[in-house]
Amino acid sequence: MKWATGLEFARARQAPWRSLLVWLILLGILLSGCSAPQQSTPQPGSSRTIINKGSDTLVNLALAWAEAYMALHPEVTISVTGGGSGTGLTAMLNGTIDLANASRSIKQEELDQAAKLGIEPIEYVVALDAIAIVVNLENPVDRITLPQLSAIYTGQITNWSQLGGDNLPIVLLSRESNSGTYVYFLENVIRLGDSDSKLLFAPDTLLMPSSEGISVEVRQNPNAIGYDGLGYVTPDQKVLAVAIDENSPYVKPSVETVNDGSYPISRELYMYTPGEPSGELAAYLEWIRTDGQELIPKLGFVPLIDEP
Amino acid sequence: MMTSPVDRREPIKLGAFLIEWFVRLAGLSTIGFVILIFFFLLREGIPALFEVPLSNLFGTAWYPTFGYYGTIPLILGSLLVTLTAVVIALPLGIASAVFVREVAPNWVREVLKPLIEVLAGIPSVVLGFFGMTILVPAIRTLLNIPTGLTAFSGALVLAYMALPTIISVAEDALDAVPKSYRDAGLAMGATRWQTIWRVVVPAARSGIVTAVMLGLGRAIGETMAVMMITGNAARMPLGLDALFKPVRTMTATVAAEMGEVAQGSVHYHVLFGIGIILFLVTFVINLFAAKSIFKKRYRGGLR
């Protein structure tokens, strides 16, 4: 009954202006909530905090760089998170980060969106990476050609016996579609670099939300085949030697074979800034591309040969 | 207006007035937020209907990076995992509730009830990790299937997550059955089991339906654990063996892809479209749950 009295009280006595006031305050709170994010757009490079986000392939390397750089320059704070190349580039375009990591180069759509927002992304090649094809240690198969990989991932080869292995079904593992590795693998392995090709991953392909997801499944499942950046391959997985076709040499991924170009599935890894970097950000990028390169082999990636 | 009986009452203090308003606002804001969220979903999701032909949108191929936005495998995937989870959780949940309320001695009940509540508090990512490292390999070897990352694994973990909800609500429903029912059953010469199964459980039927509905709602919205252990392959879950093959649910799709999409792109709108579908499904489920709460049978002293 209190409720009803209160209501009548509000109506009869001091009602109109008071309830109006409450609504106005509420409206004010709502509006201020809406406009707040626009004020927090960071100014690239001007602060001593660098927010770095993107490719899961690059995240460990980016973390190692950040830690080493922060040890050298204690006044700088660098935060690193993963999420995928697309995630990082989108965050950069939305103005929430200073530096995006990407395991693929920026897409035309993303460039279009950047132009719309008045941002001019600048690309830096920071390292090279091999994409390793991994299987379970128990799997007797130890080499494979690119056309075979394409046939496996489009669902034409479905049993390991077709590749000289045991009579077991093949379980296809892939990264999620927001991964730069996914796009690279589709374009260069499944479609064999043919830009007119319309081939896609077989619908049965398991999309794992993380590199760790692929490792866990490959480690315990003798049927599984997966792909991932060389830096993520642990010793309890078997890395296959890959050949361009049956008549070419089978090559295992390593720093040497990526540098001399004999391993067929390798790529450049990138960092992007929204516009010309300045201050700490510029210094950090310069360091990555010079002294920072020494850290790369420890994490299983391949350093740039030429100094930029 | 001013001659109404209100005038003769004592004026209420300002403090009481403000508190009343605060409570009222807190209550109303819940409804307001739901409506705002729904309109936000509609605003972001409806454009998908105009950007993508319906034959594509309700097709069977989900390759969002390459312009195929078939949501049917995702909808069927969610339904398969959720319904299987409820089928698993229903008998376990009701049996547990009956045990806790009707069979267990007092001290056991005192231990079990808080434990069940702890169960509800386990973060889903922990269950997902447990599923990924323990359950998935076990299912693969036990059932001898190509991979353990299947709809069935997801359903098992979901069932486990829905159980606390089902047990708690069903137990409350059993608790509400008057003692006179049990006495009458026993007095008629029925055994304890017959009394429970033929008298008490049917009397608590509507509450048990509510329990199942709430469990269902819990299961269909679950994301993290499902994303980690169902394999996320957007295949059509048709055929008898679909349960033991990988599947991709709506929630996992939104969670995995939302971070990547450019705001305002077609893919973005389609993901919000999936959000609308999820919202509607949960809404309908809750509606049924509420309906069974309000339409209780007023009979023989039962509330």
Q: Which residues, 6+ apart, have CB-to-CB distance to A299 below 8 Å?
A: A60, A61, A64, A231
How far CA B48 is from CA of A16, A22, A38, B35, B78, in Å, comes to: 43, 38, 27, 20, 20
Is the Cβ–Cβ distance between A98 and A50 less than 8 Å?
yes
CA dist., res. A62 & res. A52, Å (int): 8
Asked whether the predicted pLDDT for residue B111 surpasses 70, the reply is: yes
Mean pLDDT of chain B: 87
| pLDDT number for residue B296 | 55
Is the Cβ–Cβ distance between A28 and A22 less than 8 Å?
no
CA dist., res. A49 & res. B171, Å (int): 53
| pLDDT number for residue A41 | 43
Number of H helices, E strands in chain B: 15, 2
* CB pair distance less than 8 Å for A217 and B136: yes
* CB pair distance less than 8 Å for B262 and A221: no
| A33 contact residues in B (CB cutoff 8 A) | none
Q: Which residues, 6+ apart, have CB-to-CB distance to A42 below 8 Å?
A: A51, A95, A96, A97, A98
A 167-196 residues with CB < 8 A to B? 168-171, 176-178, 182-183
Closest CA to B98 of B107, B109, B88: B109
Band of pLDDT at residue B241, cut at 50, 70 and 90: confident
Closest CA to A51 of A26, A28, A81, A24: A81
A49-128+269-299: CATH, from 3.40.50.150, 3.30.1490.100, 3.40.710.10, 3.40.190.10: 3.40.190.10
Measured between CB atoms, does B59 come within 8 Å of chain A? Answer: no
| pLDDT number for residue B300 | 45
Number of residues assigned to chain B: 303
Closest CA to B256 of B220, B223, B221: B223
| B132 contact residues in A (CB cutoff 8 A) | 213, 216
In chain A, where does the domain assigned CATH 3.40.190.10 lie? 49-128+269-299, 129-266
Measured between CB atoms, does A116 come within 8 Å of chain B? Answer: no
| A90 contact residues in B (CB cutoff 8 A) | 259-263
CA dist., res. B294 & res. B301, Å (int): 16
Closest CA to A267 of A187, A191, A190, A167: A187
Is the Cβ–Cβ distance between A15 and B21 less than 8 Å?
no
Mean pLDDT of B192-196: 90
Structure tokens at A152: 């496996």
CATH architecture of A129-266: 3-Layer(aba) Sandwich (3.40)
Instruction: Report which secondary-structure segment, H or E, holds A173.
Output: strand A171-175
* CB pair distance less than 8 Å for B236 and A176: no
Instruction: Report which secondary-structure segment, H or E, holds B152.
Output: helix B151-175
Closest CA to A219 of A142, A116, A138: A138
Mean pLDDT of B161-174: 91
Is the Cβ–Cβ distance between A106 and A243 less than 8 Å?
no
* CB pair distance less than 8 Å for B246 and A204: yes
Sort B28 into a burial class: Cβ within 10 Å, 0-12 / 13-18 / 19+.
exposed
Mutate: best of B149, B254, B267, partner A, most A CBs <10 A: B149
A 131-170 residues with CB < 8 A to B? 168-170
- Of A176, A177, A206, which has the smallest distance from its Cβ to B246's Cβ? A206
* CB pair distance less than 8 Å for A22 and B233: no
How far CA A64 is from CA of A61, A101, A292, A306, in Å, comes to: 5, 14, 9, 21
Instruction: Report which secondary-structure segment, H or E, holds A266.
Output: strand A266-274
* CB pair distance less than 8 Å for B132 and A216: yes
Band of pLDDT at residue B248, cut at 50, 70 and 90: very high
Q: Which letter does DSSP use for residue B247 in this model?
A: B
CA dist., res. B181 & res. B301, Å (int): 9
CA dist., res. A280 & res. A301, Å (int): 25
Give the global pTM.
Answer: 0.76
| A205 contact residues in B (CB cutoff 8 A) | 233
ipTM of the complex: 0.78
Band of pLDDT at residue B134, cut at 50, 70 and 90: very high
Domain boundaries, chain B: 5-45, 48-302
Phi-psi map region of A12: left, alpha, beta (phi>0 left; psi -120 to 50 alpha): alpha
* CB pair distance less than 8 Å for A9 and B232: no
Asked whether the predicted pLDDT for residue B30 surpasses 70, the reply is: yes
| pLDDT number for residue A13 | 45
| pLDDT number for residue A2 | 39
Measured between CB atoms, does B14 come within 8 Å of chain A? Answer: no
| B237 contact residues in A (CB cutoff 8 A) | none
B 241-280 residues with CB < 8 A to A? 245-246, 248, 252, 256-257, 259-263, 265
**What sign does the CA torsion over B18, B24, B25, B26 have?**
positive
CA dist., res. B121 & res. B109, Å (int): 19
| B4 contact residues in A (CB cutoff 8 A) | 8, 12
- Tally A–B CB contacts below 8 A: 119
Measured between CB atoms, does A213 come within 8 Å of chain B? Answer: yes
Band of pLDDT at residue B206, cut at 50, 70 and 90: confident
Measured between CB atoms, does B115 come within 8 Å of chain A? Answer: no
| B228 contact residues in A (CB cutoff 8 A) | 209, 213
CATH of domain B48-302: 1.10.3720.10
Structure tokens at B86: 């409820």
Measured between CB atoms, does B58 come within 8 Å of chain A? Answer: no
Write phi, then psi, for B245 (nearest 5 degrees): -125, 165
Closest CA to B41 of B272, B292, B301: B272
Measured between CB atoms, does A264 come within 8 Å of chain B? Answer: no
User: Which residue of chain B has the CA closest to A1?
Assistant: B20
| pLDDT number for residue A15 | 45
Mean pLDDT of B37-62: 91
* CB pair distance less than 8 Å for A177 and B63: yes
Phi-psi map region of B152: left, alpha, beta (phi>0 left; psi -120 to 50 alpha): alpha
Band of pLDDT at residue B8, cut at 50, 70 and 90: low
CA A16 to chain centroid:
56
Q: What is the pLDDT along chain A (308 residues), one digit of tens a residue?
A: 334 443 444 444 444 455 555 555 555 555 554 444 443 444 444 447 899 998 888 888 999 999 999 999 988 999 998 888 888 898 898 888 999 999 888 888 889 888 988 889 999 999 988 899 999 999 999 899 999 999 999 999 999 999 988 899 999 999 888 777 888 899 899 999 888 888 899 988 999 887 888 988 999 999 999 998 888 888 899 999 999 988 899 999 988 888 888 899 988 899 999 988 888 899 999 999 888 888 888 888 888 865 43
